[in-house]
Amino acid sequence: MKFFISSYLIIVSCLAYFLFQDKELQESIQRGKDIYSDFCVTCHLETGEGVAYTYPPLADSDYLMNNREASIQGVKYGRMGELTVNGVTYNNTMMPLGLEDDEIADVMNYVLNSWGNSGAKMVTVQEVNSIVK
């Protein structure tokens, strides 16, 4: 009986945690969509496809999925030089956008959960804050 009650409490706790996190993630994604529309859409376009050989795609991006920390760092501090996305090499400069850490987390959550991307876990303000140049 103790095992059943303990198991039940663990399952209910885990379910409550994931439901809360899902709501929090959905709210972050919505805020991130607005930030994307204000800061990112000019180069990466509305559907995240980017501009061939100039601005890399964010849609179905192997780079984003495999380089989480570098992706956050690029949004936070800007980036320059070569990077390869979906087998295509890009060599351009992305200037820092001047976003706060909470805005970076929100826009990353939007991008990592849009256009065929599927973020493994939610980007948090603490994670963005821990990324240094």
Within a domain: residue 22? Answer: no
pLDDT in tens, 6-63: 565 566 554 444 444 599 999 999 999 999 999 999 999 999 999 999 999 999 999 9
Give the pTM: 0.83
User: Is residue 105 within 8 Å of residue 124, measured between CB atoms?
Assistant: yes
Within a domain: residue 98? Answer: yes
CATH of the domain at 41: 1.10.760.10
89: containing domain: 28-130
Per the DSSP assignment, residues forming a β-bridge with 33 are: none
Q: Residue 120: pLDDT above 70? A: yes
pLDDT in tens, 90-106: 999 999 999 999 999 99
